[in-house]
Structure 1
């Protein structure tokens, strides 16, 4: 039986998740005997899901087995009875197990957690992900090692077939329990394992193990896509990373292929702390909007996030839920003032006779005097020229002096006479 012991070191505290099935019992036996010099300390973890009558018997057996072989054992009862009718009970059970594993690895000081997933499990997983549409944004199968919360999760039997494990069990007369529910095809994975894959193997022209070659090719291509997306984000001028928003060049993004676009946005959302995946269906709608002639619009991604199309760029930003300030603010002396997400610094050099100033939002008909040219321009035209989104226009402060002349519009315009007397900073751009 092939066991990939290089996944850990002789100095590691190795912890094994044992279900009492043939796979995990054979892995435990190997570590006790043939692999006993590959680690510093050995511990077992066992979860009793309470879904089968044999569960308590299996737990009692493992307690006695570990006691006889002087292995530390920790058990946990995971009550899944309320979820018996849930179509996702297997996923819920897995989440419950790993939450407890995370806690126990920290509590017992474990370095590496081993599970007994084998090559047949790998083929089953590849098949499952292919035919459920879960293959385009993730590895096609199970990783042999991955980082979790302060420890490594390793699967040292991924190059070992189920037949090899059974031969090892028979040779060494290893006790184990057979989970009768594995024979039921009510669960999708069981159906793949018990009915579909054996049917494929009966055809002389088909070989399910070819899926392993597909996985290697797929994961290499996926890794290349992720690297290209990372380069687009961090090593080009097409993405501007700001604390409160991320700006992306719309044209350059539209030139990317579909999978690369998905990877770019997935990585950007991950950087912003968004964990749940955006569906490819929603991404398709977003890409359609981005490639259209639409100049300005907001696309709702979730309750927390929007994508704002702004002319030649689009912006990934959080939905803060804050209401912009709309009431005017009177200013009678120099100082630092705040209006929405803008900081306005009126210097001591500002002419005293122009006070009081009024800081307000735009009104219909507002105009500014052109700098170094004769004539005026509407503030609405200024917004269009600077490609300011409609939503942002309702945040930008205008400064009106005592003679009703507009002398500044956000960070877009300041009258030439007062360029050294007024500083307006958009804090959202910092």
Structure 2
């Protein structure tokens, strides 16, 4: 019932778990497919029920001999969704580093994908951004895999109900105070209830169109990328920044096609036909190295990092 099986059999897997509808179904689907995985769950301590969810997740993992990694945090009320996301991804990164996981599996499904499309449409985004959720997405520290993107919420609920599988409902998902919930409740859910077959087909076509429009870039070393400086360059820079662990704001996207430093972490340097992207490192360099960079037309902002790794020019 899930996709990306070949990808998931090629490494060590960590399931991002909440014990809600989607991640609970995915847990059992992975078992059905005999795909090995462990579990990671974050308790934000904002709902009384979260303790029961964590306790049940631990019991479920014990039953099926899975490791269950739990992180408990308390966040302030400002930008809760963004801060919660940062905490989750940092947790996943730490686990991947410590336990050598190569894939983090997310339970995003068709409703999430359509909800995201509507949100990006409202912001004035292009095609690449509107269908941003990908089934397989390379990141710096792990590969994201989303096996449920072609399944609707109703199909997933049917799977759980037919098997009488226990799951939890998060009441905060019904709160319109969160922008994402508003798009889900007012637009994505009712639209899919009537047009799910057409939506699935449209995403298949959109995915093929996106592949034709993919920006051209390549990885030179682990943290050093070169993007072709053409009409699709901004998307290439955005893609590489995500791989390197930085999600650009709209303001940063509007200025990234210039010599600049993004978030104090990533150096972007341009010449006539290439855009160099590296971690930002400020260090003293030898005159000989500087001259080699000048002759090779390597932008000044990237030279510190290349010098720090003894890059051969």
Provide TM-score, normalisation by structure 2.
0.70
Q: Is 1:55–2:68 an aligned residue pair?
A: no
The aligned residue for residue 264 of structure 1 is 233
Q: Deviations over 1:258-279 (max 9, x none)?
A: xx53x23564798899966485
Answer whether contact 1:112 1:154 (CA < 8 A) is retained: yes
More helix by share: 2
Residue 123 of structure 1 is aligned with which of 99, 114, 118? Answer: 114
Q: State how far apart, in whole Å, the 2-side matches of 1:317 and 1:150 are.
A: 20
The aligned residue for residue 242 of structure 1 is none
Q: State how far apart, in whole Å, the 1-side matches of 2:144 and 2:281 are.
A: 37
Q: State how far apart, in whole Å, the 1-side matches of 2:7 and 2:293 are.
A: 49
Answer whether contact 1:123 1:208 (CA < 8 A) is retained: no
The aligned residue for residue 39 of structure 2 is 44
Structure of greater relative contact order (alpha carbons < 8 Å, 6+ residues apart): 2
Answer whether contact 2:14 2:101 (CA < 8 A) is retained: yes
Answer whether contact 1:7 1:154 (CA < 8 A) is retained: no
Q: State how far apart, in whole Å, the 1-side matches of 2:91 and 2:126 are.
A: 28
Q: Deviations over 1:183-211 (max 9, x none)?
A: 11111211111112345468xxx736645
Q: Deviations over 1:106-161 (max 9, x none)?
A: 32232332221111111111222222233355462311112234533211111211
Answer whether contact 2:116 2:130 (CA < 8 A) is retained: no
Aligned-pair RMSD on alpha carbons? Answer: 4.2
Change over 3 Å in CA distance of 1:275–1:141 after alignment to 2: closer
The aligned residue for residue 212 of structure 2 is 224
Q: State how far apart, in whole Å, the 1-side matches of 2:191 and 2:39 are.
A: 36
Q: Is 1:181–2:172 an aligned residue pair?
A: yes
Q: How does 1:341-352 map to 2 (within 5 A)?
A: none
The aligned residue for residue 68 of structure 2 is 73
Q: Deviations over 1:248-293 (max 9, x none)?
A: 9xxxx9xxxxxx53x2356479889996648589859x8xxxxxxx
Answer whether contact 1:116 1:156 (CA < 8 A) is retained: yes
More strand by share: 1
Q: State how far apart, in whole Å, the 1-side matches of 2:136 and 2:56 are.
A: 29
The aligned residue for residue 29 of structure 2 is 30
Q: State how far apart, in whole Å, the 1-side matches of 2:294 and 2:69 are.
A: 51
Q: State how far apart, in whole Å, the 2-side matches of 1:101 and 1:274 are.
A: 12
Q: How does 1:366-377 map to 2 (within 5 A)?
A: none
The aligned residue for residue 236 of structure 1 is none
Change over 3 Å in CA distance of 1:141–1:209 after alignment to 2: farther
Answer whether contact 1:300 1:306 (CA < 8 A) is retained: yes
Q: How does 1:242-261 map to 2 (within 5 A)?
A: 260-261=230-231
Deviation at 1:12, TM superposition (A): 4.0
Q: State how far apart, in whole Å, the 1-side matches of 2:245 and 2:85 are.
A: 22
The aligned residue for residue 20 of structure 2 is 21
Answer whether contact 1:266 1:277 (CA < 8 A) is retained: no
Q: Secondary structure at the match of 2:162?
A: helix
Q: State how far apart, in whole Å, the 1-side matches of 2:273 and 2:140 are.
A: 35
Q: State how far apart, in whole Å, the 2-side matches of 1:164 and 1:68 are.
A: 26
Q: Deviations over 1:370-393 (max 9, x none)?
A: xxxxxxxxxxxxxxxxxxxxxxxx
Answer whether contact 2:13 2:105 (CA < 8 A) is retained: yes
The aligned residue for residue 7 of structure 2 is 8
Q: How does 1:239-388 map to 2 (within 5 A)?
A: 260-261=230-231, 263-264=232-233, 267=236, 277=248
Q: Which runs of 5+ in 1 are unaligned?
A: 232-245, 254-259, 287-298, 322-337, 343-425
Residue 207 of structure 1 is aligned with which of 170, 192, 195? Answer: 195
Aligned length: 276
Q: State how far apart, in whole Å, the 1-side matches of 2:51 and 2:157 are.
A: 24
Answer whether contact 1:123 1:212 (CA < 8 A) is retained: no
